[in-house]
Amino acid sequence: MTKKTTSNESSTARLIERQRRLWNHAEAIELAQVRGTALPADVSEWLHRALKNIACGEDANEIFNVVPEKQGVRKDGLLSEIRQKITAGYIAAATEKTSPEKKKTTTALDEISSAMPAVKRTTARKNWNKVSTDRKPTFTFGKK
């Protein structure tokens, strides 16, 4: 067994371990939601820190520590799902009829694209128009 083969296996194993931890957090969040209980303190702190950094424009793959360590490895679809749901959730909350300051969709799109630099306005508009089921202020991540 060569050194190169060993390092490739270890990078794959490390990526699988990081993704396993991420799925464990997602399952803890889902269980807390189903049971109607508060999140465990460590998961709550981790989620708060991660979402705050993502909202500040940092790369979610680096935040969640699921970046593949070599080129050519496909990234997990979690990053795009998070961006789509956060964007749609913000637009839905901003344009909600019961909101005290109801905004137009174009204003909400401008605000979310400026708040999240990695999300272009055209992409946010496309995602908003594409899936009508995501047009609500609440959402969940992960397995469907």
Compute how many other C-beta atoms are within 10 angstroms of the C-beta atom of residue 15: 18
Tell me, what's the pLDDT at 142? 62
Question: Domain residue spans in the chain?
Answer: 3-76, 79-134
Q: What is the pTM of this model?
A: 0.45
pLDDT digits (tens, 9 = 90+) for 69-103: 556 555 556 677 778 888 888 888 888 877 677 88
Q: Which residues of the chain have pLDDT under 50?
A: 1-6
What CA–CA distance (Å, rounded) separates 44 from 127? 28
| CB-based contacts of 80, cutoff 8 Å, min separation 6 | none
